[in-house]
Amino acid sequence: MMTNPTGRLTQGQFSFLPDLTDAEIALQVEYGLKRGYAWSVEYTDDPHPRNTYWEMYGMPMFDLKDAAGVLAELAECRKTFPDHYIRLMAFDSTRGVESVAMSFIVNRPKGEPGFGLARQEVNGRTLRYTVHSYATERPERERYRR
Amino acid sequence: MSTPLYSIPGAPVVAGAEATPAPAAAPAPEASAPRTVGEVLAETQAGRVLEELDRSLVGLAPVKGRIRDIAALLVIDKLRVSLGLRAESPSLHMCFTGNPGTGKTTVALRMAEILHRLGYVRKGHLVAVTRDDLVGQYIGHTAPKTREVLKKAMGGVLFIDEAYYLYRPENERDYGQEAIEILLQVMENQRDDLVVILAGYHDRMETFFRSNPGMRSRIAHHIDFPDYAPEDLLCIAERMLEQQHYRFGSGARAAFEEYLALRIRQPQFANARSVRNALDRARLRQASRLFAERDRALGADDLTTLSVADIRGSRVFAAAATAPL
């Protein structure tokens, strides 16, 4: 059975759609800024679904008025990590919300090997299941090297 | 694969995907494109901002002329674009030089609004910074700090007050140079995203530009703010009072004119700023004068009028009396 027919990581918003263009990203960022969110750029090469906290690329950007600033930061991150997953996150600092309001992937490695199901036999013949990323079988920095 | 059923706002229209609903959408903007300068001004409402600039700022004739020129260029560019002609987006980085209190910050604020109305900057906010906001305190601190400020200013105007402080020739390891380099890079590469306005005193900016020739060549507009004439200052004073719901009593206007004539000759005269400070002190004296009269019923007239005594109480008159010129 094929568990990953599109060969693409599906996390966050828009992840079932084709990659957003920069103009579309700018519109999303603009929308978030209009609602007062603070954008930040994060990257990782270990996209396990339970890996919630990716590496931050710079500080979250508060007090921005225009999407150009976020896109400049994203361009720099893409230059530094062309073969990593990169996502944009919008933090809503409204009292009582104080959490991430938007999050979507804006950069993917060329090939995405996806995830495998690992079975572990424990007491008796009980089976435990877990998900494991094929990419992490290789050491860091070599995971998505072409 | 079949064409997708979803659509994301702003996505480029795929040929064939939207063939059925609106084939006549393309020629529509042609009909509504502006043809005259008046139409552009009406559409953008920039005319009103220009008029307000004329009305609300006293004097500054060369500055206003320059701003008019810039606005005219932007309007003509809009017309060119609507006819399909090429309009190179002009470099709008500016340098305001002038003595203290000549209205550099005020004009920068107006400039941001005009550029926004004409569609040159997207948001039209003004981020005012000085050296402290751009230059860090240790190695590796400057670049992120400068970048953060630049990101905040994107889509608007970055106003660097007393920009000559960025460059300190006496310390060759000063981090200011690093900030200048990042600034230059962004000014060149992201001209559409932000407009940088440098401000400072004339002679010091000259030295600054001499040591940073790259900066001078990237700034298209050097605008010099002249000092105000005494009658302009008097006019400014009256407007300030009007805004604060005060007015000159009988003879007070003449007294203030006299005061200005004396004050201008003193060192550290800061044009409109000195006027504001003088008026603030006159208000203090008025308040204590009224405060002394415990039993008097004070009407609106008493509370809003600055009398001759309030103006004459200034130290400037006393100094002039003891040391006549």
* pLDDT confidence of residue B323: 67
Alpha helices (H) along chain B: 28-32, 37-44, 46-56, 61-82, 104-117, 131-134, 142-153, 176-189, 202-211, 213-218, 230-243, 252-265, 271-292, 300-304, 308-312, 315-322
CA of B8, closest CA in chain A: separation in Å?
Answer: 8
- pLDDT (tens digit per residue) in A92-146: 999 999 999 999 999 999 888 888 889 999 999 999 999 988 889 999 888 887 6
**Residue in A closest to B5 by C-alpha:** A17
CA distance B14 to B81: 25
* pLDDT confidence of residue B13: 56
* pLDDT confidence of residue A57: 94
Res A72 pLDDT > 90: yes
* pLDDT confidence of residue B154: 93
Q: Work out the percent of chain A whose per-residue pLDDT is above 90.
A: 68
**Partner-chain contact B154 A72, CB within 8 Å:** yes
**Structural contact between residues A146 and A111, judged by C-beta atoms closer than 8 angstroms:** yes
Question: Which stretch of DSSP H or E encloses residue A64?
Answer: none
HSE at residue B186, side-chain half, CA atoms within 13 A, is 26
CA distance B162 to B198: 7
**Partner-chain contact B156 A65, CB within 8 Å:** yes
B236 burial (CB, 10 Å; 0-12 / 13-18 / 19+) is buried
CA distance B173 to B151: 26
- Ranges of chain B whose pLDDT falls below 70: 1-33, 323-325
- The token pair at B120 is 């040159």
CATH of domain A22-109: 3.30.190.10
* Predicted complex ipTM exceeds 0.95: no
- Residues paired with residue A87 on neighbouring β-strands, in sequence order: A42, A105
**Partner-chain contact B151 A24, CB within 8 Å:** no
HSE at residue B161, side-chain half, CA atoms within 13 A, is 17
Q: Pick A65's closest partner by Cβ from B148, B150, B155.
A: B155
CA distance B303 to B307: 11
CA distance A56 to A52: 12
CA distance B185 to B183: 5
Q: What is the DSSP letter of B307?
A: P
**Residue in A closest to B191 by C-alpha:** A68
- pLDDT (tens digit per residue) in B121-177: 888 899 999 999 999 999 999 999 999 999 999 999 999 999 999 988 888 788 998
* pLDDT confidence of residue B21: 43
**Partner-chain contact A27 B194, CB within 8 Å:** no
Q: Are strands B195-200 and B94-98 parallel, antiparallel or unpaired?
A: parallel
**Partner-chain contact A24 B11, CB within 8 Å:** yes
Mapping DSSP to helix (H, G, I), strand (E, B) and coil, where does residue B133 land?
Answer: helix
Among chain B, residues having any CB pair with chain A shorter than 8 Å are: 4, 6, 8-12, 122-123, 125, 144, 148, 150-152, 154-156, 190, 193-194
**Structural contact between residues B108 and B92, judged by C-beta atoms closer than 8 angstroms:** no
- Residues paired with residue A116 on neighbouring β-strands, in sequence order: A132
Nearest to A66 by CA among B143, B158, B9: B158
**Partner-chain contact B193 A64, CB within 8 Å:** no
More confident residue, A9 or B50: A9
Question: Which stretch of DSSP H or E encloses residue A26?
Answer: helix A22-34
Say which residue the tokens 């003088």 belong to: B278
